[in-house]
Amino acid sequence: MILVRFVFQTKWGKANEVVAAFKETQKIFGEQFGRSRILTDLSGPLHTVVQEIEVESLAEWERRRAELFSQSEYQERQARAVELIESGRAEFYTIEA
């Protein structure tokens, strides 16, 4: 099992808007996301939003990612969220236990 984690630094005070956009996107594309969750900071850098998605393998992640990115509605939603984000990174972990 693989954990895909996206860590975003939002623009000042925009974390709630990013969370709302991600929740709406998950509602619409939920099946394609699979098991996922959204987290916000309690410590560390301010205005951090984390999105985690669990997938069976990196191959499954690539397949899901390609499906999502090919949909124009998903692209439009992501473009709006990007306006609220300063920077971000992707992390991939093997879930051991």
Is-contact 90 2, C-beta < 8 A?
no
**Which are the contacts of 35, defined by CB distance < 8 A and separation ≥ 6?**
53, 54
Q: What integer pLDDT is reported at residue 48 of this predicted model?
A: 97
| Residue 33: pLDDT band with limits 50, 70, 90 | low
Domains in the chain: boundaries? 2-94
Q: Could you tell me the pTM of the whole model? A: 0.86
What's the N-to-C CA distance of the chain in angstroms? 9
Q: Which of 29, 38, 36 is nearest to 54 (CA)?
A: 36
Residue 58 has pLDDT above 90, yes or no: yes
DSSP strand pairing (36-40 vs 85-94): unpaired
Q: How confident is the model at residue 32 (pLDDT cuts 50, 70, 90)?
A: low
Give the fold, CATH level 3, of 2-94. Answer: Alpha-Beta Plaits (3.30.70)
Phi, psi (5° rounding) for residue 19?
A: -60, -45
